[in-house]
Copies of this chain bind each other. A is one copy, B any other.
Amino acid sequence: MIHGDTAKKLSFHVGQRILISRKKKKLICVLNTMEHIIQKNEIAVSHEISDILKLKPGNVVDVEIAEKPRSIDLIKEKLNGKKLNKDEIFEIIQNIANNSLTEVEVAFFVSAILEKGMSLEETKYLTQAMVETGNHLHFKGVVVDKHSIGGIAGNRTTPIVVSICAAAGLIFPKTSSRAITSAAGTADVIETIARVDFSIDDIKKIIKKTNGCFVWGGSLGLAPVDDKIIRVEKIVNADSSSQVIASILSKKISAGSKHILIDIPYGKSAKFSEREALLLKKRFLQMKTVFKLDLDVVLTKGDEPIGNGIGPVLEIKDVIKVLTRNNSPKDLEEKSLFLSGKILEMVNKARPGKGVAMARSILESGAAYKKFLEIIHAQKGNVNLLDSLCSNAAYDIKSRKKIKIKHLNNKLFNTLARLAGCPEDKASGIYLYKKKGNDVDKGETIFTIYAVSKEKLRHAINFFRKNERKIIEIY
């Protein structure tokens, strides 16, 4: 932001790309003009910019018109259907990394990938470029990771899988995201009882002590271009298979993982149909050879929420129920054991077909819960913190007649939970008493909505009333 008169004097115009530099740090930004609170020859920058350039009030910066990066022409060519080569993809990704492209230009890149697709080669270079423009972690030992593709409400297997595998001696440097469009990300869930925002050095210490972690990946600079692309892509959910693959693999490779399990949930109201999931699996497996990774892909049923809770606190409670063997939600337990078993088999900890049994015995022995507590403790947390997190308003959705449930819609339960306050209001969300196939008597509660304010509760209830038949389908 500069003064309108200064802009005129310099022949700068609103929306123009300018290069701000101070000492050796440089950043390309988009110019805007403002009056009254800034004087002529002054510049005001956003928090984000002052952080990157390490600016303080009174600092002098150089400002000049930034040259239009060649990337823009490359993006244009991709929009017109041209295949990009390695150098071209690296140039675009480097320009995104050093903030030379605006979000509008990134939007055109995302559209081009979505509309024209990417070849196996292009996807490889996209992934490599994302890895190279970020930080890297390295760990000794058998380093594993898993990723469940999003879209399934309440699907909080990660803390359980990490605890089981770390208890078995595997190194599991799990970084997760916060919710962008869903009710909760793993980082939001763990944050109810522990810190998740650590430096790379902190993470190394946590892993050294406990074998595993559940931290937020956002501030680690692992494949940071992926985050920038996702921020734009999420606006229209324009995630193409190439972008999904590059996004997931770049994060895992950057985190130093050598054995990676990808879980693709499919089904009604999941992100993918079975056919799409199979196609995506095939494309993932093609990358296995390219990157010499020990990569496995499983397809799991994802046509209703998993567990009973949807929302940060409600989901961590489900996780603890499974780990403490106290009234476990069976679907969450079984899926966690299945994924853990796969990983144990991938790294030859368990013989083929024996992974689930091994995972179950680690869970039943209490070793997994012990490991979970160790990691939570290493992340400066405490499960007792849960007692202080409660909602102030709740509402039971009851059945008006005797019904049998056919389908619970993932997307709409996510929306419902967000209207109730997720993920910001930690204790808000949905608690499901009934799932697919269950019979419900007249007057019986199907689920409860929790919120921290009556207003938000009302929003959620209104949404449910309007969309009742889509949220819960019955026979």
A105 in contact with B235 (CB, 8 Å):
yes
Instruction: Choose one: B47, B104, B112, B115; the contact of A104 (CB below 8 Å).
Output: B104
- Mark each residue of chain A from 103 to 132: 1 if its CB lies under 8 Å from any CB of chain B, else 0: 111111011101110000000000000000
Indicate if A76 sits at the interface (CB-CB under 8 A). Answer: yes
Return chain B residues, CB-CB under 8 Å to A107: 104-105, 107-108, 111
B47 in contact with A34 (CB, 8 Å):
yes
How many angstroms between the C-alpha atoms of A104 and B106 in the bound complex?
8
Distance (whole angstroms) from the CB of A4 to the closest CB of chain B: 5
What copy number does this chain have within its complex?
2
How many angstroms between the C-alpha atoms of A237 and B105 in the bound complex?
12
How many angstroms between the C-alpha atoms of A1 and B50 in the bound complex?
14
Known: A4-B47, A232-B104, A235-B108. A79 touches B37 (CB 8 A): no
Interface residues of A in 4-43 (CB under 8 A from B): 4, 11, 14-15, 32-38
Which residue of B is nearest A114, CB measured?
B79
How many angstroms between the C-alpha atoms of A57 and B47 in the bound complex?
22
Distance (whole angstroms) from the CB of A33 to the closest CB of chain B: 4
Which residue of B is nearest A3, CB measured?
B47
Question: Looking at A11, A44, A104, A106, which has the most chain B CB atoms within 10 Å of its CB?
Answer: A104
Return chain B residues, CB-CB under 8 Å to A385: none
How many angstroms between the C-alpha atoms of A182 and B11 in the bound complex?
16
Distance (whole angstroms) from the CB of A49 to the closest CB of chain B: 9
Interface residues of A in 37-82 (CB under 8 A from B): 37-38, 44-48, 50, 57, 72, 75-76, 79
Distance (whole angstroms) from the CB of A390 to the closest CB of chain B: 18
Indicate if A236 sits at the interface (CB-CB under 8 A). Answer: yes
Indicate if A299 sits at the interface (CB-CB under 8 A). Answer: no
Known: A11-B424, A112-B111, A235-B108. A46 touches B33 (CB 8 A): yes
Instruction: Choose one: B14, B72, B79; the contact of A111 (CB below 8 Å).
Output: B79
Which residue of B is nearest A7, CB measured?
B47
Distance (whole angstroms) from the CB of A20 to the closest CB of chain B: 14
Instruction: Choose one: B32, B44, B104; the contact of A37 (CB below 8 Å).
Output: B44
Distance (whole angstroms) from the CB of A128 to the closest CB of chain B: 25
How many angstroms between the C-alpha atoms of A195 and B110 in the bound complex?
42
How many angstroms between the C-alpha atoms of A44 and B46 in the bound complex?
11
Q: A104-B235, A105-B235 are in contact. List 19 more A-B contacts (CB 8 A).
A: A1-B46, A4-B47, A11-B424, A14-B46, A32-B47, A34-B44, A34-B45, A34-B46, A35-B47, A37-B37, A37-B38, A76-B238, A79-B111, A79-B115, A79-B238, A104-B232, A108-B110, A111-B112, A111-B115
Which A positions have Cβ atoms within 8 angstroms of B? 1, 4, 11, 14-15, 32-38, 44-48, 50, 57, 72, 75-76, 79, 103-108, 110-112, 114-116, 231-232, 235-238, 424
The 8 tightest CB contacts between A and B, nearest first, are A111-B111, A107-B107, A115-B115, A33-B47, A76-B236, A32-B46, A36-B57, A104-B107
A sample of 11 inter-chain contacts (CB < 8 A) reads A1-B46, A14-B46, A35-B50, A37-B37, A37-B57, A72-B235, A104-B104, A104-B106, A104-B107, A107-B111, A111-B111
